[in-house]
Structure 1
């Protein structure tokens, strides 16, 4: 089975990102399949032309996310290999976890030979994608609640022969722990991502969603803007972050808008596809 990875590089607002967001939100609730005509209509609600939607769908099919299907008309079914990726996304996007003071940390230590530098590059890249910080080139750290994801990455890459995972209490460092955290993570860049999210979605608070279509458009834009942040931000304890940290405001904004829009957005998708309601998973 081909491994399907989270897409954290598509620019929010792009056709590729919006389509991935739609698939993650709704395709499982639709029974795992959607007619291309319905998908084109829904993407048109987001002002995406039909030709661009079809091109983006073809690319997602090449990447192992979708399978073409002609039963009951031309449509696309979710590739079973993509389900673990989407379920991982559910846990991050819809259940934000903030590490509390005193909770354990996870350390990933590895030494990968130069002959496997491709593995080393992928491991560093994917650890960064799930929100790990770099203590040193071969030593990465994250909150303990991310240990399962870190171990999953090691398994995906067949890297366990070169790695050891430790679970530990509060690290002992030279200087203060907040100073060390500021060196392990690029907090300025992360804060900037939070502020970009807030700037993008704050106007949605006053946007009159007069019907379910408007709610669908607003909700897709909300999740498309939000879905990367819970990966980049590992949920560090508040006491280790700057006093003006914008992360909590981002979580509040997301929760408020999602509460207003999610159910109405799903009603619009149901109406467009005439599908019975199903739970997300």
Structure 2
């Protein structure tokens, strides 16, 4: 007899939703942010009813919330548990911990800090890996110096090693550390070619516009939306030295805005979640 497997039944070691798989502001992204913020604090389990109630506090209708929850189960972030509840997939914890470091421990280079260069030669037979490496390096905040050669701030060296191991590309890559890269033109000009600063500026402006509209009288919804809007930026913006960026660069303003609102909202938001899940 042939048995059809429920697509929502995902093994605990299945591939889980990656850090920026879901578009910020979407229903799936907001729930993924909610889960990343609070499910570990709640012991890794939440009832279906509580999750739907919290979604309602984010102005997500019940039907849309249940559809998004199903999607998160299919992608392996959540696992169905007894008593109409959900467990956090243990395989998602390293991803969430990586996100914690990026989101809440913002780092910026200073003049003279180390850089790491990555030279990777991947055979034609592994074009899939080549594409994956390129997209993941962009997500890490790497600049493209030349085909097969990328550069990242030295403080991202550990994450770079993890990325290469995670996707199986370490054997194709050689890493170099330097505090003195010497392009043929001034370093600030080279940086503007290695990174798409226009796109990065647009992301900062998007973030600043989105948080200006937050209703801080509803701290839970405001905090989840703050994190959801912010969480992409610390990945794609590597934190380049101010000396190498335009004078009106909005990065410092974004960081200060995020940190100030986070301090203001996080405690009250957690109280709301605890009341909602224990009542």
Class of the TM-score when normalised by the shorter of the 2 chains = over 0.9
Q: 1:104 aligns with which of 114, 137, 153?
A: 114
Equivalent residue number for residue 278 of structure 1:
none
Match of 1:121 in 2: 131
2-side partners of 1:225 and 1:37: how far apart?
A: 25
TM-score (norm 1): 0.92
- Say whether residues 1:170 and 2:174 are aligned partners: no
Query: Pairwise CA RMSD of aligned residues?
Result: 1.2
Query: Displacement, 1:33?
Result: 0.6
Equivalents in 2 of 1:180, 1:9: separation in Å?
Answer: 30
- Tell me, yes or no, if the aligned pair for 1:33 and 1:76 is still in contact at 8 Å: yes
Match of 1:26 in 2: 38
Match of 2:199 in 1: 189
Deviation at 1:132, TM superposition (A): 0.5
Structure 1: gaps of 5 or more residues: 276-281
2:246 aligned with 1:234? no
What CA distance in whole angstroms lies between the structure 1 residues aligned with 2:263 and 2:63? Answer: 33
* SS of equivalent to 1:115: helix
User: Is the CA contact (8 Å cut-off) linking 2:15 and 2:75 kept in structure 1?
Assistant: no
Asked whether 1:132 is paired with 2:142, we answer: yes
Instruction: Return 5+ residue gaps in structure 2 as ranges.
Output: 1-12
Structure 1 consecutive aligned stretches of length 4 or more whose deviation exceeds 2 Å = 1-7
Q: Which residue, out of 146, 151, 165, partners 2:156?
A: 146
Instruction: Show CA shifts across 1:11-36 (max 9, x none).
Output: 22110110111011000000001001
Aligned residues between the structures: 267
Question: What TM-score results when the alignment is normalised by the length of structure 2?
Answer: 0.93
Counterpart position of 1:279: none
* 1:14-59 deviations in Å (ceiling 9; x for gaps): 1011011101100000000100100000000111111111111111
1:199 maps onto 2:203 in alignment: no
Deviations 1:236-265 (A, max 9, x none): 010010100000000011011111110000
Note if 1:61 corresponds to 2:61.
no
2:47 counterpart residue number? 35
Displacement of 1:161 in angstroms is 1.8
Per the TM alignment, residue 2 of structure 1 is displaced from its structure 2 partner at its CA by 3.4
